[in-house]
């Protein structure tokens, strides 16, 4: 099951769920102030499901970790996260390590810190081949958008 960790990521999560022919769940959260979020509801039945959260950017990892706790409490079998840009400031890596997330996969669009590299729950994927192909296509006046079809 694909899970959007917030309402802002629903379009991304829905698109991925459609491509994978997977079900979709949405985390309804409330943010009282910057850096602090609370899960209010889970839209969708996650009971007995393996959940994959997708997000564009993660800074403190508070939202993802809170969502992982809520998904497990609601009966999910497992929770994984896939994130494009892992800022991971402050205690984010430690927060992920202590969370019910089984794994968080990030790209190297931001240089991974030593803490990220040492983490047992974090995996870094290189985007260098994608950028190289995009540069090649631009220089050869070929489509870049087709890389993402």
Active site residues: 29
Q: DSSP character for 75? A: T
Q: DSSP character for 112? A: P
CA distance 79 to 75: 11
> How many residues in the chain?
149
Sheet holding 36-43, edge to edge: 36-43, 24-33, 2-4, 50-58, 78-86, 103-107, 122-125
What six digits make up the tokens of 136?
């090649």
Nearest to 105 by CA among 114, 95, 116, 94: 116
């Amino acid at each position: 099951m694909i899970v959007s960790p917030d309402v802002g990521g629903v379009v991304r999560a829905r698109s991925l769920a459609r491509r994978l022919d997977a079900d979709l769940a949405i985390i309804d959260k409330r943010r009282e102030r910057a850096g602090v979020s609370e899960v209010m509801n889970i839209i969708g039945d996650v009971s007995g499901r393996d959940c994959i959260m997708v997000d564009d950017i993660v800074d403190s990892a508070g939202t993802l970790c809170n969502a992982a706790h809520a998904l497990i409490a609601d009966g999910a079998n497992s929770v994984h996260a896939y994130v494009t840009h892992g800022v991971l400031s402050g205690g984010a890596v430690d927060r992920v390590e202590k969370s019910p997330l089984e794994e968080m996969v990030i790209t190297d669009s931001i240089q991974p810190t030593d803490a990220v590299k040492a983490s047992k729950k974090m995996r870094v994927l290189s985007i260098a081949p994608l950028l190289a192909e995009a540069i090649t296509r631009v220089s050869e006046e070929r489509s870049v958008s087709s890389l993402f079809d």
